[in-house]
Every structure is written in structure tokens, then in C-alpha cells.
């Protein structure tokens, strides 16, 4: 069973996109070689990426371009190389290299992806997916990059959720540019692992 994780940046007041849907705030202007190395390693890893339509269309307009290759060559290479899945009922085709369009039921499609062989799946952006998959228990880990900025208004990645999803802090890491990476896992996953350990 593949692990499904969310990797998103949020502002100090909890928004992953501003009121206009812009996510550029996540690019902290303060340079930090250690943080740049961290993001490059993540982008260069194995596995696959899962997007909703809006995030997919945003990503495909940037990462395959010469501008992206010049600005962040390692990240751009990883984004273009990785297997990508986009969930949409309105898109008819996709053009970004290594991308597969998923048009069926979201929960069923994700369960199918998780049960297939692979090195894990990461959701980037795609708040509509996160808000539907988290209550269904299909997300195994939330990796959140807390950016030291206050937006005042915007969208959270959990908009529309109607039930609580208790989480446990797994790890945290602070960087010199003020970014803090927080890793959480659902409490039910922790309890299930503990039960298996006791049974074994």
C-alpha cells in the first residue's frame, strides 16, 4: 500500500492561497541554502504527484518552461520527470509529460492508486482534494511548511470539511529563513500502528 502525503505551504494565519488564489507568498524572499536543498531533495525523490484541476493547470503553465528550468533547475527537473495524476470531471485531455487524467469517483480512484505498486504519492496544493480525502482517512501524512507571513484572508486547504481529523505531530524542523516544516499524521493511523505492534 502506497503512502499518500500532503505537502503544502501555509501562512501564519493558516491560508495556503490568498484571497485571489495566489500561492506566490510561499516563495520566501529570504534566501536559505539549507531550505533550498531540502526542497530540491523532495522534488527529486521518487513517487508520484496528485493534483486537482486548478493546481494542475497552475503547475503546467510554469514547471515545463525555460524560466522554471533557469530559476530552479533541480525542482523543475523533478516536477517534469515524476508521474502525475490529475482528478477532474471537466478536463478532456492533459499535455504535461507523464500525466494521467482521472475522471472517476475521487475516493475510488485514490484507493486504487494507493493499492498499486509505487514509492508513494504526494498532493501539492489541491485544497479541494485534501478536504475530501482527509475525512475519508486516505491521507497518511501532512507535511506543512509554515511561512512567516500573515495574509489576512484567503483559502485554507481544509475548506468545506465538516468533521474533525485529529492529528499528531511527528516531527518539526526550523530553517534560518523563518520557514518551519511540520509533519503530522492522523491519530487513527498512530493508534492502528500501536495496535499492530501490541498484537505482534
pLDDT in tens, 102-146: 999 999 999 999 999 999 999 998 999 999 999 999 999 999 999
Domains of the chain, start order:
4-199 (3.40.430.10)
Can you say whether the dihedral through the CA atoms of 110, 115, 117, 123 is positive or negative? positive
Give the residue with greater pLDDT, 200 vs 1. 1
Copy the grid coordinates of residue 195: 495496535
Classify residue 146 by burial, with Cβ atoms within 10 Å: 0-12, 13-18, 19+: middle
Question: Strand, helix or coil at 166?
Answer: coil
Check whether 195 has a pLDDT greater than 90: no
Rounded to an integer, the average pLDDT of 145-168 is 94
Task: Read off φ and ψ for residue 147, nearest 5 degrees.
Answer: -95, 135
Copy the grid coordinates of residue 160: 468545506
3-state secondary structure 54-105: HHHHHHHCCCCCHHHHHHCHHHHHHHHHCEEEEECCCCCCCCCCCEEEECCC
Amino acid at each position: 500500500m502506497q503512502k499518500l502525503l500532503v505537502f503544502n505551504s501555509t501562512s501564519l494565519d493558516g491560508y495556503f492561497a490568498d484571497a485571489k488564489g495566489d500561492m506566490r507568498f510561499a516563495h520566501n524572499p529570504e534566501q536559505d541554502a539549507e531550505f533550498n536543498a531540502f526542497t530540491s531533495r523532495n522534488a527529486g525523490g521518487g513517487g508520484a504527484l496528485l493534483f486537482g484541476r486548478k493546481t494542475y493547470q497552475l503547475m503546467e503553465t510554469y514547471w515545463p518552461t525555460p524560466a522554471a528550468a533557469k530559476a530552479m533547475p533541480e525542482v523543475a527537473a523533478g516536477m517534469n520527470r515524476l508521474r502525475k495524476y490529475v482528478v477532474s470531471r471537466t478536463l478532456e485531455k492533459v499535455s504535461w509529460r507523464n500525466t494521467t487524467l482521472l475522471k472517476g469517483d475521487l475516493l475510488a480512484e485514490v484507493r486504487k492508486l494507493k493499492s498499486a505498486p509505487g514509492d508513494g504519492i504526494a498532493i501539492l496544493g489541491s485544497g479541494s482534494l485534501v478536504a475530501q480525502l482527509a475525512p475519508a482517512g486516505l491521507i497518511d501524512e501532512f507535511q506543512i511548511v509554515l511561512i512567516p507571513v500573515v495574509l489576512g484572508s484567503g483559502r485554507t486547504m481544509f475548506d468545506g470539511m465538516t468533521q474533525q481529523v485529529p492529528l499528531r505531530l511527528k516531527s518539526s524542523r526550523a530553517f534560518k529563513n523563518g520557514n518551519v516544516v511540520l509533519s503530522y499524521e492522523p491519530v487513527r493511523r498512530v493508534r492502528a500502528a500501536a495496535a499492530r505492534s501490541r498484537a505482534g
